[in-house]
Amino acid sequence: MRTPLIAGNWKMHMTVNEAVELAGAVARLSSDARDREVMIAPPYTALFEVARALEGSNVLLSSQNVCWEEKGAFTGEISPVMLKDIGCSMAIIGHSERRHVFGEDNKMVNKRILGAQKFGMVPVFCIGETLDEREAGHTFKVLESQVREGLVGVEISDPATIVVAYEPVWAIGTGKTATVVQAQEVHAFVRELLAGMYQKNVASEIRILYGGSVNPENVDALMSEEDVDGALVGGAALKPELFDRIIHFQ
Catalytic residues: 95, 167
Q: Which is nearer to ligand PGA, 94 or 211 (CB)?
A: 211
Q: Report the residue number, 25 or 81, with the smaller CB distance to ligand PGA.
A: 25
Backbone angles phi, psi at 41, to 5 degrees: -125, 85
- Distance, in Å, from the CA atom of 40 to the CA atom of 19, rounded to the nearest integer, reads 10
* CB 173 to ligand PGA: min, Å: 4
**What HEC string does 41-58 produce?**
ECCHHHHHHHHHHCCCCC
The single residue among 46, 208, 233, 246 that binds ligand PGA, judged by CB under 6 A, is 233
Nearest-angstrom CA–CA distance, 222 and 6: 12
Provide the 8-state DSSP code for 201: H
Q: Which of 159, 168, 230, 235 binds ligand PGA (CB under 6 A)?
A: 235
Number of residues that bind ligand PGA (CB under 6 A): 13
Radius of gyration of the chain (CA): 17
Binding segment for ligand PGA (CB under 6 A), chosen from 69-77, 131-139, 165-173, 178-186, is 165-173
Residue whose C-alpha is closest to residue 91's, from 47, 33, 152, 154: 47
10-to-15, 70, 148, 151, 234 alpha-carbon distances in Å:
11, 25, 28, 25, 6
According to CB under 6 A, which one of 29, 104, 234, 243 is a site residue for ligand PGA?
Answer: 234
- Report how far residue 145's alpha carbon sits from residue 138's, in angstroms, rounded to the nearest whole number: 11
User: Binding string to ligand PGA for residues 179 to 218, with x set by CB under 6 A, is what?
Assistant: --------------------------------xxxx----
Q: Considering the complex, what minimum distance in angstroms separates the CB of residue 211 from ligand PGA?
A: 4
The length of the chain is 250
Region binding ligand PGA by CB under 6 A among candidate stretches 24-32, 75-83, 167-175, 183-191: 167-175
Torsions phi, psi of 175, nearest 5?
A: 85, -10
Q: What amino acid is encoded at 142 in this protein?
A: V
Which residues ranging from 87 to 146 are in contact with ligand PGA (CB under 6 A)? none
Stretch that binds ligand PGA, among 109-117, 138-146, 202-210, 226-234 (CB under 6 A): 226-234
Q: Which residues bind ligand PGA (CB under 6 A)?
A: 9, 167, 172-173, 211-214, 232-236
